[in-house]
Every structure is written in C-alpha cells, then in structure tokens.
Amino acid sequence: MTMSARHANKPPRIGDAPAFRRFMIGFVLVIGALFVLAPLLVIFTQAFSLGVGHFTATIAHPDTRHAIYLTVMTALIAVPLNTAFGIAAAWAITKFDFWGRRFLLIVIEIPFSISPIVAGVAYLFVYGLQGLFGPALQSAEIKVLFALPGIVLASMFVTAPFVARELIPLMQAQGRDLEEAATSLGASGWRTFLSVTLPNIRWALLYGVVLCNARVMGEFGAVSVVSGKIRGQTNTLPLHIELLYHDYNTVGAFAAASILALLALVTIVAKLALERRGAGRAGRPALAGPATIAQGKTS
C-alpha cells in the first residue's frame, strides 16, 4: 500500500475541514480583539482624551508619584525574596529526597488556591492589633499592617509560586547527575550551583521573575486589605487607580492605569523574548556539565 493510500484511509481529524479551521481562527481572533485588545485601546485612548498636559499632570501629582514609588519599592523587595525562595524550594524538591517533600509542593501551590482577599484577611489575624503577633509587635513599636512591610508580605504571598513553578519541572527533567558529578570532582555547593545548576535554569528563572514582578506590581486584593488604602501613604498604583475612579476622576484613573497596561505589554514582550531563548519550551540551551567545573579549576 502506498503512502498516499494510507493517508487516504486514515479517518479525518477534528478541524481538518477548511471551513471549520477558518471558523475557529476567526472566533479566537474576535474574542481576543473584544476581550484583550479593546480594553487596552480604551485605556490609552481615555488616558490622553484631555490631552498630554492633563495626562502629565495626573502622573506628576504627588499621590500618583508616591503610589508609583510604593509599587516599585514593593517589587524591589518582594521579587528578589521570592526568587530566592523559588530557587531554594526547587532545589530542595528536585535534588533531595526527604520526608514532607509532597507537603512542600502543596504549600507552594496554596497561593494559587486561595483568594488574595482571603490571604489579606489572614494577615490581619496574624499581624493585626488583635492578631496572633499584634500585641507583641505593638509593644515593640513595629508596624507591619497599614505600612510597607504588610504590603510586601501580602505581595510575596500571592506571588510565591511563580519562580518555583517555572524551575521545578525543568530541574526535575534535568535530574541530579550533573550536580553529583560536579560534587565528585570536588566542587563546593555554591560552586556547583553557580557553574552547573544556574546556567541550566537561567532562562526559566528569568521567565519566573518577569511573571512574578508583573503580578507584584498589579496585585490588588491582598494589598487592599493590609494597606488601609491611606491616600498618599499606603496606596500602591492599583489602589490609587481605584481611588481616582471613586473620586470621579475617570481620565486620571485611566492615565494611572496606562502605566500598568504599559507594564503588561513590556511583560509580554519580555516573556516572548525569553520563550525564544528556551524558557517554558522544550528547546532549551544545552546543559552545562561538570566540564565547566574542571575548566574552572584549570583556569
């Protein structure tokens, strides 16, 4: 039987019909335009509807500048801490066998299963004045809630899984052979991590960091509970957008929202660039091996 005859006898697959393919592609494009592109166009159109001068005045307002500053500060603290946590968690889960390994995996997934608002309320019962540690913190004059520490803690909670989720599948696929070989050559733990593990996970690590940073800057639910929404003091940029909208300053709200929308576009571009380098795909760079250790010793 010829190749063409075998193909002719194969049952048709779902979507092989040209009309069905065109319908599905058109349907996806229409939905994407209505629910993704249209809101973005409205944000930027409304942001500049009263002119560039009004847009600039909104961004330059002290409350807006403080909201941007607080958002950036939160990201600068939360993202590195979550990156370190993600690397440590992925290393522990994929490189060691220990009791409680499955439990640790469950703990990492918890923030994806709990509403951010519920997480914020939980922090109130832990660090609030009537909470578990509230009286002790008050006696020590340490303010956690309605201040930067509470905002950072809430942001870290909702973004804790991002880096770990990107690293764990990759490090599981790579196995432990390279690290064990490097250790047998006399490399220390830090040397093994820097010369063998890190080069093999760098794109997935950056991928997780980009997603974590975008979520930190755009987090609303948990931060709205623990921040107190104090104008010009504890309002991050998403909370400030809500405040402007409630003040009937719709154009100002869209102007502030355009910053987050621009951040989303930058995140998408960075995400696509990292995917082209191998993050999140099977086509990753070649693994760095123990030869790196040996080469480092001879240099």
Look at 116-120, 140-144, 223-227 and tell me which has the smallest mean pLDDT.
Answer: 140-144
Contacts of 152 (CB under 8 A, 6+ apart): 74, 77, 78
Q: Give the count of alpha carbons within 13 A of 26, CB side only.
A: 6
Instruction: Provide mean pLDDT across the span 203-209.
Output: 87
Q: Distances from the Cα of 20 to the Cαs of 9, 14, 26, 28, in angstroms?
A: 21, 9, 10, 12
pLDDT of 18 > 50? The answer is: yes
Local structure of 26: helix, strand or coil: helix
- Which pLDDT band holds residue 7 (cuts at 50, 70, 90)? low
Closest to 93 (Cα-Cα) out of 174, 17, 24: 174
- Which pLDDT band holds residue 9 (cuts at 50, 70, 90)? low
Place of tokens 């760079």: 285
Q: How big is the chain, counted in residues?
A: 299
Local structure of 212: helix, strand or coil: helix
Q: What pLDDT digit, counting tens, does each position of 46-91 carry?
A: 888 888 888 898 899 999 999 999 999 999 999 999 999 999 999 8
Query: What's the pLDDT score for residue 153?
Result: 93
- Which pLDDT band holds residue 37 (cuts at 50, 70, 90)? confident
- Which pLDDT band holds residue 102 (cuts at 50, 70, 90)? confident
Q: What is the mean pLDDT of the chain?
A: 82
**Distance, CA of 34 to CA of 200 (rounded, Å):** 39
Q: What pLDDT digit, counting tens, does each position of 246-293 carry?
A: 988 889 899 999 988 888 888 888 878 877 776 554 444 444 444 444
CATH topology of domain 49-112+161-219+235-298: MetI-like fold (1.10.3720)
**Distance, CA of 255 to CA of 241 (rounded, Å):** 9
Residues 48-62: b if buried by 16+ CB within 10 A, e if exposed: eeeeeeebeebbebe
Query: What's the pLDDT score for residue 151?
Result: 93
Instruction: Provide mean pLDDT across the span 158-175.
Output: 88
Query: What's the pLDDT score for residue 74?
Result: 94
Q: For residues 54 and 184, which has the higher predicted lDDT (pLDDT)?
A: 54
Q: What pLDDT digit, counting tens, does each position of 208-243 carry?
A: 898 899 899 989 989 999 988 888 889 999 999 999
Phi, psi of 85 (to 5 degrees): -65, -45
pLDDT of 12 > 70? The answer is: no
Q: Give the count of alpha carbons within 13 A of 146, CB side only.
A: 8
Quickly list H helices, the chain.
Answer: 3-9, 18-32, 38-47, 52-60, 62-95, 101-113, 116-127, 134-139, 148-159, 161-174, 177-184, 189-192, 198-218, 221-227, 237-246, 250-276, 291-298
Q: For residues 184 and 123, which has the higher predicted lDDT (pLDDT)?
A: 123
Reading the block at residue 33, the tokens are 């335009």
- Which pLDDT band holds residue 11 (cuts at 50, 70, 90)? low
Query: What's the pLDDT score for residue 173?
Result: 83
Q: Could you tell me what percent of the chain has a pLDDT over 90?
A: 24
**Distance, CA of 95 to CA of 189 (rounded, Å):** 12
